[in-house]
Amino acid sequence: MAPLSRTFFARPAADVAKDLIGATLLVDDVGGLIVETEAYDQKDPASHSYVGRTARNASMFGPPGHAYIYRSYGLHWCINFVCGAEPLGSAVLIRALEPATGIEVMRQRRGNVLPRLLCSGPGRLSQALGVTGTLDGQPLDRAPFSVLSRTAETPVVRGPRIGITRGIEAPWRFGLAGSAYLSRRFQ
């Protein structure tokens, strides 16, 4: 598995989101296989970048291959990979992982919960990997991050995104077909 290069991320968000399925995300050697993603871009009414650059979304307008991390509902952290060429303001939300390494650490952080609930959701996986706002804007090709390319061809399914009230029709959610670690099933 090779680290994903910055050029990998310098493409439209939907392309990156699809190609991230099957890749590996680690934070300080805790993480696993990416099984669910969603794409957001600046023209998208569901996107944080839709209203233009603000203090919160500044990382979305920075260089590709960096993290955009925000707080959700005042409680949870969620991690995105900034991507796209011009125009800026696009990112991929990482929604679910299949846990692979550091599972004991995940269990300590998440509480003694069923394995399939460790990383099945953007807030859950951020908690399991110890992701907080201090990593917002940090590059993905350096510690503590490691994002590694997938090793085999991967069957990808797609559908509408979850938990949004605008842009609900766009099929910009991607998943590993048949995975038991999705936050919700497709179709």
Positions that interact with DNA (CB under 7 A): 38, 40, 46-49, 51, 54-56, 60, 68, 71-76, 78, 80, 91, 93, 110, 113, 117, 121-125, 161-165, 183
Nearer to DNA, 11 or 110 (CB): 110
Nearer to DNA, 80 or 154 (CB): 80
Q: How far is the CB of 152 from DNA (least distance, A)?
A: 27
CA angle 35, 41, 46 (to 5 degrees): 85
Nearer to DNA, 143 or 178 (CB): 178
Distance CA 142, CA 66 (A): 10
Nearer to DNA, 41 or 153 (CB): 41
Tracing tokens 């503590």 back to the chain, one arrives at: 144
Q: Which residue(s) pair with 157 in the sheet?
A: 175
Q: How far is the CB of 181 from DNA (least distance, A)?
A: 12
Peptide bond into 144 cis (omega under 30): yes
Q: Which residue(s) pair with 32 in the sheet?
A: 25, 99
